[in-house]
Amino acid sequence: MATKTQAVNGAAIKEAIEGRDGRMLSSFYADDALVRVIDRNNPPSKPREIRGRAAISTFWDDICSRAMTHKVDTTIADGNSLAFTQACAYPDGTKVFAAAMLELKDGQIARQTVVQAWDE
Amino acid sequence: MRPIETRYALSGDVRIAYQVVGQGSFDLVFVPGFISNLDLHWEDEGFSRLLKRLSAFSRLILFDKRGTGLSDRVDSHHLPSLETRMDDVRAVMDAAGSGRAALLGASEGASMAMLFAATYPERTRALVLYGGYAHFHKWVMPPERLDAFIEMAETAWGTGATLQHFAPGRVDDPRFATWWGRFERLSASPTAAAALARMNAGIDVRGVLAAIRAPTLLIHRRNDARVDPDASRFLARKIANARLVEVPGRDHPIWTGDVERVADLIEVFLTGQRVVAETERALAALLATRIHDTARLGDRMWNERFQRFQETWRLLVGHHGGRAAGMHGELMISRFDSPARAIRCAAALREATQGIGVASAQGIHVGEIELRGPPTGLTVRVATQLAAHARRGDILASRLVADLATGSGLHFTDAGRITLDELSEPLALVLATSEQHLEPACHSRIKATEPAALTARESEVVNLIADGKSNAAIAAELRLSEHTVKRHVANILLKLDLPSRAAAAAFSVRHPGPDGP
């Protein structure tokens, strides 16, 4: 429950992502939060959408089950908006880079848009 | 599409080739069947479509099993056990940093995927088994048929001869048949293929089914040509958390037949989300035009006429407001916004074939197609199959085409029904007819003259006359003297009782006999 009361901020997100802590990450989201992912396979007019905390928990569990490194580099906070970039690497050297923009509401993430690119 | 980078994972002392495509939130490992080749998959339309669909919602991990495709070759006489090959999946997942993945096992790959799920439950997010089986001899082929299959694989490997055993619906697709031959050659050597087939025959994973805990989706084509659908029904009973979906079709490889349907099922199962309706699809009338040699023309003459018809085809399709959408050997696909235009174009093409000295058989169907790229999918395959069923000179269309063309003034006659593997219901057919139908009159008028009376050489000459060639040109082509050609022409006019070269040309066009045009 300690994580529940923790306000979402750049430092908390950095710690959870870099520590691959899916449970902590999920606790940052509002029950009806929406995560949108835009990338080469999911264009802006048809982004992949993950709705609700249960689906978002699965989303983070899946990502955190990967044996990879994450580095959250730049975090910018402005009122109820938060943005950060994330550089990730798989053990075979493949890299992923993502930029995320978050809207906060009552101290929780209500909406998040991720734009990502990767080696293929 | 740019090439996907191939990497290698070390499994024991063997290197396993793998590719990673997409960056979805969860990993999906595709465990291939009998043989595979990572590079070649991308060259087949159906395969690359499947991979594109799957990698849109997952991080798709592909690999070639040891001894196949781009992975290390192994001693064909001492092939590894299913357990060892299953462990290759783990090695690839480790290399790609995948802690836990959904596994998609196709055909023989399904057995490996089941063994993996039972051995590493903590690393199995979910299981999708397509056309799978737990026991080879029970559901794929009995021992006596296996020997014949292996002998055929050994003697005709690389020619694409195994295609009929896997995808009989694609045997008549020359492009796919050629691809399949390459697929055989580049996926395994003949000795390895025979050894693999023998080893697969030993597969029996019935004992591990009770240990599978992962949510499982089973997909099987109702008339699968290779693996009895009872195989999946058995799995559905024995795997605790399994659901079976049977889909229409008989072609066995997962990348043939209705790939979209299979991809939809997998996506809904793994993401829990309804597939968003494709917005890039539109209703279109597709015309499949197949042309035939009417009289065993030599290669050169056939090629000339084929070229001429191709040009005419492009021209007429354009005139009727359509788009030339693709050519597969002697089959041409064109796309129209309205069924009536497709039918009028088909009638014009039929007339043109008579002028050129070839015969056409055409099929028309209406359905949704992708707006981008050449049309693929069910609508194309149905139109193509109608063209294959049509008799020479016929325009065979689905009943839907006639219904949509109501009010166009076109006429149709009922042509029964046809059962197609991919459709759950028989398809009602019509023949497009027109008042200016040309069939009978010409034939009866020239019945008196028997083209068979012409010698083979004279028939060649009359065909070249019909092509508008001069005596000198004919002499050069047939390597005869001009004098000899003149004598042939005189004999032809005499035998057919015709007044001039022009009349002989007209006769040749009107009357396609066994040795004529």
The answer to whether position B155 is within a domain reads no
Whole-angstrom distance, CA of residue B26 vs CA of residue B271: 9
Same domain, B256 and B315: no
CA angle A13, A10, A86 (to 5 degrees): 65
* Contacts with B452 (C-beta within 8 Å, 6 or more apart), sequence order: B513, B514, B515
The answer to whether position B198 is within a domain reads no
Whole-angstrom distance, CA of residue A110 vs CA of residue A108: 6
Specify the pTM: 0.67
User: In the predicted model, what is the mean pLDDT of residues B435-453?
Assistant: 46
pLDDT digit string, tens, across residues B25-84 = 999 999 999 999 999 999 998 999 999 999 999 999 999 999 999 999 988 888 788 888
Domain CATH for A7 = 3.10.450.50
pLDDT > 70 in chain B, percent: 92
Task: Specify the pLDDT at position B315.
Answer: 87
A96 CB neighbours in chain B (<8 A) are: 23
Q: Which residues pair with B370 in a beta bridge?
A: B281
Element spanning B192, H or E: helix B190-200
Domain that holds residue B314: 281-434
Question: By CA distance, what is B18's nearest residue in A?
Answer: A92
- Per the prediction, chain B carries an average pLDDT of 87
* Contacts with A26 (C-beta within 8 Å, 6 or more apart), sequence order: A53, A56, A57, A60, A61
Inter-chain touch B26–A90, beta carbons under 8 Å: no
Q: Is the pLDDT of residue B295 over 90?
A: no
Whole-angstrom distance, CA of residue B31 vs CA of residue B409: 54
Task: Specify the pLDDT at position B2.
Answer: 56
Task: Specify the pLDDT at position B373.
Answer: 67
Of B310, B214, B230, residue with least CA distance to B269: B214
Of B293, B310, B289, residue with least CA distance to B301: B293
Same domain, B293 and B411: yes
Same domain, B224 and B134: yes
The answer to whether position B192 is within a domain reads no
Token readout for B314 is: 């492009």
User: In the predicted model, what is the mean pLDDT of residues B454-465?
Assistant: 82
Task: Specify the pLDDT at position A105.
Answer: 95
Same domain, B105 and B235: yes
Cβ–Cβ contact B275 with A under 8 A: no
Cβ–Cβ contact A74 with B under 8 A: no
Closest CA of chain B from A82, distance in Å: 21
Domain that holds residue A74: 2-118
Cβ–Cβ contact B20 with A under 8 A: yes
The answer to whether position B190 is within a domain reads no
Question: By CA distance, what is B1's nearest residue in A?
Answer: A120
Task: Specify the pLDDT at position B25.
Answer: 94
Inter-chain touch A59–B97, beta carbons under 8 Å: no
- Structural domain total, chain A: 1
Inter-chain touch B23–A48, beta carbons under 8 Å: no
Helix (H, G, I), strand (E, B) or coil at B448: coil
The domain boundary residue, chosen from B392, B411, B434: B434
Inter-chain touch A55–B272, beta carbons under 8 Å: yes
pLDDT class of A39 with cuts at 50, 70, 90 = very high
Same domain, B262 and B327: no
Range of weakest confidence among B14-28, B295-309, B352-366, B496-510: B496-510
Element spanning B108, H or E: helix B108-119
pLDDT digit string, tens, across residues B372-396 = 667 778 889 999 999 999 999 999 9
Whole-angstrom distance, CA of residue B74 vs CA of residue B68: 9
Of B176, B139, B183, residue with least CA distance to B157: B183
Q: Which tops the pLDDT comparison, B339 or A69?
A: A69
pLDDT > 70 in chain A, percent: 95
The answer to whether position B2 is within a domain reads no
Token readout for B42 is: 């991308």
The domain boundary residue, chosen from B271, B300, B318: B271
Same domain, B123 and B224: yes
Same domain, B335 and B459: no
The answer to whether position B166 is within a domain reads no
Cβ–Cβ contact A78 with B under 8 A: no
Residue written as token pair 């595709």: B30
Question: By CA distance, what is B54's nearest residue in A?
Answer: A41
Same domain, B351 and B230: no
User: In the predicted model, what is the mean pLDDT of residues B301-328?
Assistant: 87
* Contacts with A51 (C-beta within 8 Å, 6 or more apart), sequence order: A32, A33, A34, A35
Element spanning B307, H or E: helix B299-319
Amino acid identity for residue A92 in this structure: D
- Residue of B20, B27, B56 lying closest to A94 (CB–CB): B20
Same domain, B254 and B232: yes
pLDDT class of B455 with cuts at 50, 70, 90 = confident
Task: Specify the pLDDT at position A62.
Answer: 95
Same domain, B135 and B98: yes
Token readout for B409 is: 């003034």
**Residue numbers of B between 85 and 144 with CB closer than 8 Å to A:** 94-100, 125
Which residues in B22-161 belong to E strands, given as ranges? 27-31, 59-63, 101-106, 124-130
* Phi, psi for B125 (deg, rounded to 5): -75, -40
Whole-angstrom distance, CA of residue B138 vs CA of residue A92: 41
**How many Cα atoms are found within 13 Å in the side-chain-facing hemisphere of B43?**
13
Question: By CA distance, what is B60's nearest residue in A?
Answer: A120
Cβ–Cβ contact B436 with A under 8 A: no
The domain boundary residue, chosen from B249, B271, B293: B271
Same domain, B14 and B76: yes
Task: Specify the pLDDT at position B431.
Answer: 94
pLDDT digit string, tens, across residues B238-277 = 999 999 999 999 999 999 999 999 999 999 999 987 665 5
User: In the predicted model, what is the mean pLDDT of residues B182-187?
Assistant: 96
Task: Specify the pLDDT at position B511.
Answer: 65
Domain CATH for B33 = 3.40.50.1820
Inter-chain touch B25–A59, beta carbons under 8 Å: yes
Inter-chain touch B55–A41, beta carbons under 8 Å: yes
Q: Is the pLDDT of residue B86 over 60?
A: yes
Helix (H, G, I), strand (E, B) or coil at B383: helix
Whole-angstrom distance, CA of residue B320 vs CA of residue B336: 8
Same domain, B260 and B317: no
pLDDT digit string, tens, across residues B163-175 = 999 999 999 888 8
Inter-chain touch A46–B96, beta carbons under 8 Å: no
- Structural domain total, chain B: 3
pLDDT class of B512 with cuts at 50, 70, 90 = low
